[in-house]
Amino acid sequence: MAELSMGRRFAIGYALASKKQASFIRISLINLAYEKGIDLIKIDLEKPLIEQGPFDLVLHKTYGAKWRQQLCEYSEKYPNVLIIDSPDAIERLHNRISMLEVVTEMNVVECDRVSFGIPKQIAVYDTKAVGKLDLEGEGLKFPVIAKPLVADGSAKSHKMSLVFNKDGLSKLKPPVVLQEFVNHGGVIFKVYVVGEYVKCVKRKSLPDVNEENLGNFECSLSFSQVSNLNSVEKSGDSYYKMMDLEDGKTEIPPMNFLVDIASGLRRAMGLHLFNFDVIRDTRIGNRYLVIDINYFPGYAKMPGYEPVLTDFFWDVLSNRNGKNDTNLDGLRMLVSNAGCDEGNNGAANLPVSPLKHDEKESPIQV
């Protein structure tokens, strides 16, 4: 409660889809933020943003040209208001090719202990090209993961499958991304990032596939079929409880390694709120692959998310008002308003972490 006696309260306006709002804006978060001197205020998406507030910070996960224009107009009227995060930076994560290219753009220094990279992948845009595709000629082999090219959070964007042969390829509907499937012990590491805070959670993933048994599989299987999870509703708590791996048998990647990757991604993307999925290549025990990056993920699944997000909001707003000047420039750059001009904010030129990086591979487009 000390913050309340030291000055004014902060107003954060949030613009979230109803499902996101229900999972993230919980009473526990509202109360903790209030005690910290922060009021969380719902933005009415049926009314012009310019007529609401004023806010000290706008937190959003809303898309579309109309919303982007509203943010531009709001930034022009209230230039000191922070927008988390820049629509231009977020948009990069809506394409599964450009999403992972950011990993290859990170300038890193070699380290003998661990290495990281991304799986081999190609984008296929032409329906006719799918059936004629020569996977081996593209540096891939069965099985491959088929993902929609667009990753906008819609139900359609989450329809992924494991493809075992050419018959499976012929049934795909472009545009799709075909990604190398790497055996990883059936474990995925979900790394949540909130500013400089990093938290890793272990989850069950797709089981390993024995190449000798490829002929025994159907042409393709959806992820739910592969994982045999159809009986559990994914939106329920029982699903996430089942998916958690807290058995102590699976070792989490070195935390300093994950923090360094998180810092590099945060600087390269110009984002503060995201998570990334990492798998360990079982063929090379110290090699890790970043396979997915998501903006503003389901933080409510992260243990103790309320104080983490509240502290982040407080730090950003305090820095904006001239307190704790040490990190002010960096915070302003990473969460600053992009305005109505196109282009990036220069964040990609910042230095990143001292890690060994796998040789860059340019995704192939077909």
Is 257 labeled as ligand-binding? no
Is 182 labeled as ligand-binding? yes
Report strand pairing: 82-84 vs 364-365.
unpaired
Is 183 labeled as ligand-binding? yes
Nearest to 96 by CA among 172, 182, 158: 158
Is 181 labeled as ligand-binding? yes
Is 179 labeled as ligand-binding? yes
Is 277 labeled as ligand-binding? yes
Nearest to 344 by CA among 259, 267, 262, 276: 267
Is 20 labeled as ligand-binding? yes
Is 184 labeled as ligand-binding? yes
Is 158 labeled as ligand-binding? yes
Structure tokens at 297: 């993920």
Q: How far apart are CA 71 and CA 93, in angstroms?
A: 19
Q: How far apart are CA 333 and CA 349, in angstroms?
A: 12
Is 147 labeled as ligand-binding? yes
Is 180 labeled as ligand-binding? yes
Report strand pairing: 161-163 vs 144-148.
antiparallel
Is 103 labeled as ligand-binding? no
Is 190 labeled as ligand-binding? yes
Task: Return the beta strands (E) in 255-355 as ranges.
Answer: 273-280, 287-295
Q: Which residues contact 346 (CB under 8 A, 6 or more apart)?
A: 333
The C-alpha torsion from 268 through 272 and 277 to 281, rounded to 10°, is 40
Nearest to 127 by CA among 163, 169, 178, 181: 169
Is 189 labeled as ligand-binding? yes
Is 205 labeled as ligand-binding? yes
Is 298 labeled as ligand-binding? yes
Q: Which residues belong to the annotated binding site?
A: 20, 61, 96, 147, 158, 179-190, 205, 277, 292, 294, 298
Annotated binding site for 1D-myo-inositol 1,3,4-trisphosphate: 20, 61, 147, 158, 190, 294, 298
Q: Which residues are annotated as a binding site for ATP?
A: 96, 179-190, 205
